[in-house]
């Protein structure tokens, strides 16, 4: 594109055209024609890629809809069987049922993650409503921590005046769910802490959500990989998530012109992940 503009400017430069001979002028026109062909090919590739991406999103959306009921039923049945039989079964069988219940909950979370990923643009522009941020955070934490085998301390810190918001509640909820799930799923210890901090910055023009944990963190050179869909930094048989959580966060914030930063919670020991999300004022208003 830059080369195309340079050639066009050279042709529009009248003194330059007078100084050029017929042969040089013909060469310049040939180069410009080649640039136009390359630009048209690039545009066609972009359009083809966008069409393919939309086709995949539509396919995922249909698949997600068809899977919703059976996935939920598997999770519910696993819970009922465990509750009904745990006292009458041997320790090994009871442990297997517990593992079945845990995997069923993980399957349900995977379904929610994939559904959210294919609906990022739709979620980003849903209508606004008034809600309590404190209540929303607690509801999300209780949902994502259900069935987790570790012992984690949960800390919430909200600045004064940020609790009652008028915003896209589905957007905020999805950001929180993906960040909190990511903190639990990728933790490398049986106990630890997860915290959520929220405040308004830039004279109330931006809502900031920050989630900290004391897990292994993500090295700087792996940040880009961690943001790609279906990429995990741990083996899936060691409790890794679906690999779309941070990709969802990135795409949601990109859709609303937000901002995302990742760093170590404890830089000195290279541990913990701190993810900071900034949602523009156009998406959020608040009450004191």
pLDDT score recorded for residue 23: 62
**Both 195 and 282 in a single domain?**
yes
Question: Cα–Cα distance between 252 and 172 in angstroms, integer?
Answer: 10
Do the domain assignments include residue 123?
Answer: no
Give phi and psi for 116, each to the nearest 5.
Answer: -65, -40
Residue 70: CA count within 13 A, CB half-sphere: 5
**Both 71 and 132 in a single domain?**
no
Range of the domain at 110: 1-118
pLDDT score recorded for residue 175: 95
**Both 210 and 231 in a single domain?**
yes
Do the domain assignments include residue 234?
Answer: yes
**Both 141 and 254 in a single domain?**
yes
**Both 112 and 146 in a single domain?**
no
pLDDT score recorded for residue 97: 81
Q: How many CB atoms lie within 10 A of CB 116?
A: 24
Per residue of the chain (288 residues), give pLDDT as tens. Answer: 555 455 555 555 545 555 555 666 777 777 888 888 888 888 888 777 777 767 766 776 777 777 778 878 887 887 888 788 777 877 788 888 888 877 887 788 778 777 778 788 888 888 889 999 999 999 999 988 886 767 888 999 998 778 888 889 999 999 999 999 889 888 888 889 999 999 988 877 889 999 999 999 999 898 888 888 766 665 544 555 567 889 999 999 999 999 999 999 999 999 999 999 999 866 556 665
Last residue of a domain, one of 118, 138, 155: 118
pTM > 0.75: yes or no: no
**Both 17 and 146 in a single domain?**
no
**Both 75 and 165 in a single domain?**
no
Do the domain assignments include residue 79?
Answer: yes
pLDDT score recorded for residue 277: 96
Give phi and psi for 5, each to the nearest 5.
Answer: -65, -40
**Both 151 and 80 in a single domain?**
no
**Both 145 and 53 in a single domain?**
no
pLDDT score recorded for residue 14: 43
Q: What total number of domains does the chain contain? A: 2
Q: How many CB atoms lie within 10 A of CB 123?
A: 21
């Amino acid at each position: 594109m830059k080369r195309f503009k340079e050639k066009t400017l050279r042709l529009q430069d009248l003194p330059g055209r007078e100084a050029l001979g017929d042969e040089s002028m013909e060469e310049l026109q040939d180069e410009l024609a080649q640039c136009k062909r390359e630009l048209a090919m690039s545009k066609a590739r972009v359009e083809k890629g966008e069409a393919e991406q939309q086709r995949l999103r539509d396919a995922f959306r249909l698949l997600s809809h068809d899977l919703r009921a059976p996935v939920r039923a598997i999770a519910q049945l696993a819970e009922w069987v465990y509750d009904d039989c745990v006292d009458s079964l041997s320790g090994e069988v009871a442990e297997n049922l517990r593992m079945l219940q845990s995997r069923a909950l993980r399957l349900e979370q995977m379904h929610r993650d994939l559904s959210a990923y294919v609906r990022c643009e739709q979620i980003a522009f849903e209508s606004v409503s008034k809600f309590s941020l404190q209540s929303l955070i607690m509801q999300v934490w209780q949902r994502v921590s259900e069935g987790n085998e570790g012992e984690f301390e949960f800390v919430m810190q909200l600045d004064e005046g940020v609790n009652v918001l008028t915003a896209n509640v589905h957007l905020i909820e999805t950001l929180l769910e993906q960040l909190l799930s990511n903190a639990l799923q990728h933790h490398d210890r049986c106990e630890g802490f997860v915290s959520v901090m929220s405040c308004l910055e830039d004279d109330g023009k931006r809502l900031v959500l920050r989630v900290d944990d004391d897990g292994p963190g993500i090295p700087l050179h792996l940040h880009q990989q961690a943001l790609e869909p279906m990429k995990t930094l741990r083996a899936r048989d060691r409790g890794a998530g679906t690999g779309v959580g941070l990709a969802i966060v990135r795409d949601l914030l990109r859709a609303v012109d937000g901002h995302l930063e990742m760093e170590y919670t404890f830089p000195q020991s290279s541990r913990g992940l701190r993810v900071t999300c900034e949602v523009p004022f156009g998406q959020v208003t608040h009450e004191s």
